[in-house]
């Protein structure tokens, strides 16, 4: 049964339309409409758009469900269905699968972008920076105050002498320090450690916090035993590492297990199917030290009052998806406090919750803009997150953002369409010259 048809039927019934009326307006055969709504056939892309437009709902959301149905149909009866889904995701994101033949990767290193992360700007980074550089003058420093995957910050290194990077997540802070911070580290030493990780045998290890909590849920059980052993081993030997080495090892652990996590890209839930065993083959991350980096882990609105730069790039989490909850497993793994966990998704008690994911987003954004000491502000905005719940709609509208920025100075708006898994999205970039 296909979910997109059920969703279309729910929307039609909520609008109070009769099926015959829809047929007359869209010219889609009545039998076909009935079969679509009963989940017995998929609409074509054209039909999906026609129905979405007639119902005055977002066509992108309908198309995203349509693509999801197509993928689910293809993999549901396949022995390697879930693994194939991960491979498809890697092909779309990186141009090729990165986990099928780990023996071919032994001489390579993992780059910053090789990570699954909701809302990442990998496909838009060049456009964002090109637009910023075209629309600004006499700029030498940039603040990426909601850095996330840090792809924009990384790309900005070749254009700016100084870059300030910030994110409230513990895992992201470790990743930034591992990739960017200047520090002493021995590559040969770390590769030797990774070699020992790759030789670990799960049946020779005892159960640990990670395997007991996450085994056969977010990761296959034996894999979880190895992950938990490695994390504890890093902590036990922390005094043997420099700060840079410690952060590189933690980031390397995250990036390698991210490829085999039993999820669809975040840890709000795990896939409820048996997990095939995946042999871990650890590969070192590829640090790119940048002398002009300044790394923070702080509330953005508090930090804004302490720092100064020529440009602030702003890309907050506008809707209710709290990143500290979506990536709770990595937060848990990095802090390694082994807290009590709750619910099906095995989350600890909430922390690092962002006001930008609440009804207070507009006021928080206004406060941030008013207190950033910069010449220019560049704000990313995307309102195409697919949600069936009103609670996940954006907490601040584009018009509100524009109005707040216009009080700071003249604002220009730029738009970029891009495609992901057959669905077209629209990214908006607002650039304001501070005239106050």
Nearest C-alpha neighbor of 15 from the set 47, 65, 51: 51
Q: What is the pLDDT of residue 96?
A: 54
Return the pLDDT at 272: 85
- Write out pLDDT tens, residues 342-393: 999 999 999 999 999 999 999 999 999 999 999 999 999 986 544 444 545 7
Question: Is the separation of the CB atoms in 166 and 303 below 8 Å?
Answer: yes
pLDDT of residue 194: 97
| Region of poorest pLDDT, from 102-111, 130-139, 391-400 | 102-111
Collect all residues with Cβ–Cβ distance below 8 Å to 183 and sequence separation of at least 6. Answer: 177, 242, 243, 244, 289
pLDDT digits (tens, 9 = 90+) for 240-267: 999 999 999 999 999 999 989 999 889 9
Residue 328 bridge partners (DSSP): none
Q: How far apart are CA 40 and CA 28, in angstroms?
A: 16
Cβ-proximal residues to 212 (8 Å cutoff; 6+ apart), any chain? none
CA distance 348 to 152: 30
Which residue, 105, 164, 131, 173, is CA-closest to 327?
173
The three-state secondary structure class of 184 is: coil
3 vs 78 pLDDT, higher one:
3
Query: Does residue 378 contact residue 430 with C-beta atoms inside 8 Å?
Result: yes
> Measuring CA to CA, how many Å separate 386 from each of 45, 55, 65, 391?
17, 17, 9, 12
- The span from the CA of 354 to the CA of 188, in Å, is 40
pLDDT class of 76 with cuts at 50, 70, 90: low
Domains and CATH numbers, the chain: 3-75 (1.10.260.40), 96-436 (3.40.50.150)
Q: pLDDT digit string (tens) for 147-175?
A: 999 999 999 999 999 999 999 999 999 99
Q: Which of 66-70, 142-146, 257-261 has the lowest mean pLDDT?
A: 66-70
Distance CA 253, CA 230 (A): 8
Residue-wise pLDDT tens digits, 5-49: 888 888 888 888 888 888 888 989 988 888 888 888 888 999 989
> Distance (Å, rounded) from C-alpha 405 to C-alpha 327?
31
What does DSSP say about strands 411-420 and 423-433: parallel, antiparallel, or unpaired? antiparallel
* DSSP at 98: S
Residues paired with residue 312 on neighbouring β-strands, in sequence order:
143, 377
**pLDDT reported for residue 417:** 86
Alpha helix (H) residue ranges in 76-145: 81-94, 125-135
Q: pLDDT at position 122, please? A: 86
3-state SS of 278-334 is: CCCCCCCECCCCCCCEEEECCCHHHHCCCCECCEEEECCCCCCCCHHHHCHHHHHHH
Strand partners, 294: 164
CA distance 392 to 319: 5
Q: Which two tokens stand for residue 239?
A: 């005094």
Using alpha carbons only, what angle is made at residue 144 by residues 128 and 256, rounded to the nearest 5 degrees? 90
User: What angle in degrees, to the nearest 10, is found between the helix axes of 170-180 and 243-258?
Assistant: 120
């Amino acid at each position: 049964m296909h979910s997109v048809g059920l969703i279309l039927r729910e929307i039609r019934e909520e609008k109070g339309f009769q099926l015959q009326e829809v047929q007359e307006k869209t010219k889609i055969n009545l039998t076909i409409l009935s079969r679509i709504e009963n989940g017995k056939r998929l609409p074509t892309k054209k039909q999906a758009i026609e129905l979405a437009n007639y119902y005055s709902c977002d066509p992108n959301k309908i198309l995203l469900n349509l693509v999801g149905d197509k993928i689910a149909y293809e993999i549901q009866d396949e022995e390697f269905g879930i693994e194939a889904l991960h491979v498809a995701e890697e092909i779309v994101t990186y141009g090729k699968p990165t986990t099928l033949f780990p023996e071919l990767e032994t001489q390579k290193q993992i780059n910053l972008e090789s990570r699954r992360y909701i809302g990442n700007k990998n496909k838009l980074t060049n456009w964002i920076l090109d637009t910023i550089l075209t629309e600004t003058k006499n700029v030498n420093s940039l603040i990426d105050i909601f850095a996330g995957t840090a792809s924009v910050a990384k790309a900005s290194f070749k254009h700016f002498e100084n870059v300030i990077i910030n994110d409230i997540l513990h895992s992201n802070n470790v990743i930034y320090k591992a990739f960017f911070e200047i520090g002493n580290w021995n590559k040969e030493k770390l590769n030797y450690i990774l070699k020992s990780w790759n030789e670990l045998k799960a049946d020779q290890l005892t159960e640990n916090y990670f395997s007991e909590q996450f085994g056969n849920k977010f990761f296959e059980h034996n894999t979880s035993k190895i992950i938990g052993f490695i994390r504890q081993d890093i902590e036990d030997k922390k005094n043997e590492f420099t700060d840079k080495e410690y952060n590189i090892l933690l980031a390397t652990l995250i990036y390698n297990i991210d490829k085999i996590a039993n999820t669809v890209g975040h840890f709000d839930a795990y896939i409820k199917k048996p997990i095939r065993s995946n042999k871990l083959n650890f590969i070192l991350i590829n640090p790119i030290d940048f002398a002009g980096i300044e790394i923070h882990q702080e509330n953005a609105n508090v930090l804004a009052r302490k720092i100064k730069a020529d440009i602030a790039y702003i890309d907050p989490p506008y809707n209710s998806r709290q990143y500290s909850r979506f990536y709770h497993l990595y937060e848990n793994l990095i802090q390694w406090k082994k807290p009590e966990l709750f619910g099906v998704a095995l989350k600890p008690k909430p922390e690092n919750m962002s006001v930008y994911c609440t009804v207070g987003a507009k006021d928080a954004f206004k406060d941030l803009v008013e207190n950033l000491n910069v010449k220019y502000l560049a704000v990313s905005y995307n309102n195409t997150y697919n949600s069936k719940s009103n609670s996940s709609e954006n907490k601040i509208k584009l018009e509100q953002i524009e109005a707040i920025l216009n009080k700071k100075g003249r604002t220009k708006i730029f738009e970029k369409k891009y495609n992901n898994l057959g669905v077209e999205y629209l990214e908006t970039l607002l650039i304001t010259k501070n005239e106050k």
